[in-house]
Structure 1
Amino acid sequence: MLRFLRALLLATLLTPAATVHAAAPTDPQAETMLLLQTASGGWSKHYRGKAVDYRRPLSAVERDALRAPGRKDDATLDNKATTSEIRYLLQAHARTGNPAYLQAARRGVSYLLAAQYPNGGWPQYYPDRSFYRHQITFNDDAMTRVLELLQDIVESRDEAALLAPEFGSAAQAALARGLDCVLATQVRIEGLPTLWAAQYDEVTLLPAKARSYELPSLAVAESVGVLRLLMRQRDPSPAQVAAVEAGVRWLQAHRLPDVALERVDAPEQESGRDVRIVQRPGASLWARFYDLQHQQPMFVNRDGVQVAQFAAIPNERRVGYAWYGVWPEKLLRSEWPAWRARWGVSPHGAPAPAVQ
């Protein structure tokens, strides 16, 4: 049944949006998106070896090359690809009424539905399964953005309402499977639920390694996005409430108090700059990654070697990557308390009993 569903969804991708393009108002960036949409219905994050820039007009030669058959299909969810194009195309259609933009967005949603695993997860790339691209991926909020878009369709929110008549039921089912996968992948350490990893083996649902410096770990920035997704659910289930409460408790327990990041000029360093941790009363920090054994901040060189201290990372990695941040700050300060109040969640993490 799943194979049939995938085949049916992919069949809708065979009619490029350009074929339904009529004499309608156009949007320059949306026009480029039509050309860069892959055969599977998604979008790549790269064009000619560089990050896609939809603000740059394509030459006639480039447009002809993109229309030619046999182009590589490297559609992905990484770096906001595919979900961002779908949203932009819906907005462009709302502005212009151009049917080609809505058709391309439909193909994009069909791509997302076809890419989902039976267990509810999404790979970073589809259909490409090389390297680590087949892993279930929360890294850079890849899977979370898909679920947010599907929920917008289910709720007929903003321009996503245009997709609700066609995809509402399928989006609802995919969202439910995805949320089940979210609950199943919350990492347990010594029996206690913690946060989420950036990548998972799509079969075992265990945290997995991606690039050499992306070791299995708890990923704070991505976990904040997951918690916000769970907190968005209407009438959350007891399991969803428990997952949020456990994640928040972990973030509270692992806050680094009274410290902040400071960027400084450092002529002696190869980059001429440096980043250091300084004392600052009242400030807070969290590491980007925490190890799965001791739940302590984790730092990894490009060669995959884990180092114990932030200062031990080469300068290039210290200044070029967000090893520390304040990602959970707003969630803990205002969003989580408001969510608790809205749903009557007690201090023990369960919905408060109704007053008789």
Structure 2
Amino acid sequence: MILHNVPEFKSADRSWSSVATGMPNEWYGSEESIVVAENVLLYQRDIGGWPKNTPFHKPMSEPQKAVVIEDKNKQDAIFDNGATTTEMRFLAKMYSSVRNESYKTAFENGLRFILKAQYENGGWPMFYPLKKGYYTHITFNDDATSRLMRLLRDIYNGETLYAFVSNNELISGAKKAWERGLTCILKTQIIVNGQPTVWCAQHDEITFLPAKARAYELASFSGAESVGLLEILMDIENPSPDIIQSVKGGIKWLEEHQLRNTRWDSFTNSEGKSDRRIVTDKKAGSMWARFYDLETGLPYVSDRDGIKKSSLEEIGYERRNGYSWYTALPQKVLDNYAVWNEKWGK
């Protein structure tokens, strides 16, 4: 086995997501990366998935490793916050550099976990095995579904990084899961006056209707989670009339609900704390609220009491600064729409 040494890259100083897929190619296969990969293998749950918000790239002591091993059967494997898909993409990068069969086995077990967790209707819950509560909803939150769909597509399309997946059953399973996922995305799109609009961050797994999650995550139109879903649809070659209508409806809704000339503003409040607010600025571009009321179509924010407010100033400091209430991400799909529409929309 050839180990590449690149001591100038210190993965512990970065976020796990940036280490998993954003390091220079020569880093994957370095001694440091192999230590990180050992951590990722340790943390993989027996069912095949991984827990979220875990710094796999941080050094671990032997006692810490022993605790992780004891937790192998813990029921906390999840798709939220990029969990499971991020670890799988990292292992694929590692296997492409270091042909360690344990990386391939772990990746394939992760894929089996994804296939097993999918509902028959094509959606994915947040956790698997299922946990009671909002966790059973079809989860678009934090791009969980769109991340899964991209990974499945890359696998069944035989993208170079995933060409090592040679098990025909897994490849065909990935394709079928993607197709079911597509059906679910189209079924959950919110229809208003007969026209498709966007999506909620989570939808009921039985009725497909927008659903509530945490107290401040009410059923709504989502200006954030809808972006990843539209990107999935716009990446499809030779889209069907239903997909074309879905994309056009989503784009139209985003165009009509953008908050023009809007930006974040950081400031020091009267208590001397770093704070933030949304301001109007003629030089600024557009932003979108994360949540829009299903009845009025107006943007809102909320404290942990779940009461809708129209401005950040009306909610407490903790939620005002501890949640992503506004985003500029939809601008990306709007910018790409003209080319897509010229190719497929006419």
TM-score by length of 2: 0.86
1:227 — aligned with what? 230
Unpaired runs of at least 5, structure 1? 1-24, 46-50, 347-356
Question: Is the contact between residue 193 and residue 246 of structure 1 (CA under 8 Å) also seen in structure 2?
Answer: yes
1:37 — aligned with what? 44
Residue 273 of structure 1 aligns to a residue in which SS?
strand
Letter in 2 for 1:338: V
How far apart, in 1, do the equivalents of 2:343 and 2:162 lie? 25
Question: Is the contact between residue 77 and residue 142 of structure 1 (CA under 8 Å) also seen in structure 2?
Answer: yes
Find out whether 1:210 has 2:217 as its counterpart: no
**1:268-312 deviation line (CA, Å, top 9, x unaligned):** 147332323123246212111111111110211112111133321
* 1:61-210 pair list within 5 angstroms: 61-68=63-70, 71-163=73-165, 165-166=167-168, 167-210=170-213
Residues 96 and 308 (structure 1), Cα distance of their counterparts in 2 relative to 1, 3 Å cut: same
**1:204-247 deviation line (CA, Å, top 9, x unaligned):** 11111111111001111110110000011121111111100000
How far apart, in 2, do the equivalents of 1:265 and 1:191 lie? 46
Letter in 2 for 1:29: V
How far apart, in 2, do the equivalents of 1:209 and 1:40 lie? 27
1:341 — aligned with what? 342
How far apart, in 1, do the equivalents of 2:306 and 2:51 lie? 26
2:321 — aligned with what? 319
How far apart, in 2, do the equivalents of 1:224 and 1:164 lie? 32
Unpaired runs of at least 5, structure 2? 1-30
How far apart, in 2, do the equivalents of 1:273 and 1:65 lie? 38
2:301 — aligned with what? 299
Shift of 1:98: 0.7
Letter in 1 for 2:138: I
How far apart, in 1, do the equivalents of 2:179 and 2:296 lie? 33
Letter in 2 for 1:28: V
Question: Is the contact between residue 153 and residue 164 of structure 1 (CA under 8 Å) also seen in structure 2?
Answer: no
**1:288-347 deviation line (CA, Å, top 9, x unaligned):** 1111111110211112111133321223322332222211112212x111222333x22x
How far apart, in 1, do the equivalents of 2:154 and 2:259 lie? 35
CA RMSD of aligned residues (A): 1.8
Question: Is the contact between residue 44 and residue 74 of structure 1 (CA under 8 Å) also seen in structure 2?
Answer: yes
Shift of 1:165: 4.0
Residue 103 of structure 1 aligns to a residue in which SS?
helix
Question: Is the contact between residue 277 and residue 312 of structure 2 (CA under 8 Å) also seen in structure 1?
Answer: no
TM-score by length of 1: 0.84
How far apart, in 1, do the equivalents of 2:66 and 2:321 lie? 41
Shift of 1:29: 1.4
Shift of 1:192: 2.2
**1:5-33 deviation line (CA, Å, top 9, x unaligned):** xxxxxxxxxxxxxxxxxxxx871111111
Residues 132 and 54 (structure 1), Cα distance of their counterparts in 2 relative to 1, 3 Å cut: same
Find out whether 1:237 has 2:240 as its counterpart: yes
Letter in 2 for 1:75: A
Question: Is the contact between residue 262 and residue 278 of structure 2 (CA under 8 Å) also seen in structure 1?
Answer: no
Shift of 1:69: 7.0
Letter in 2 for 1:152: D
Letter in 2 for 1:279: D
Shift of 1:102: 0.6
How far apart, in 2, do the equivalents of 1:274 and 1:103 lie? 46
User: Percent identity over the alignment?
Assistant: 39
Shift of 1:260: 2.3
Letter in 1 for 2:90: Y
Letter in 2 for 1:187: I
Residues 68 and 265 (structure 1), Cα distance of their counterparts in 2 relative to 1, 3 Å cut: closer
Residues 156 and 221 (structure 1), Cα distance of their counterparts in 2 relative to 1, 3 Å cut: same
How far apart, in 1, do the equivalents of 2:239 and 2:154 lie? 17
Question: Is the contact between residue 91 and residue 104 of structure 2 (CA under 8 Å) also seen in structure 1?
Answer: yes
Alignment coverage as a number of residue pairs: 315
1:15 — aligned with what? none
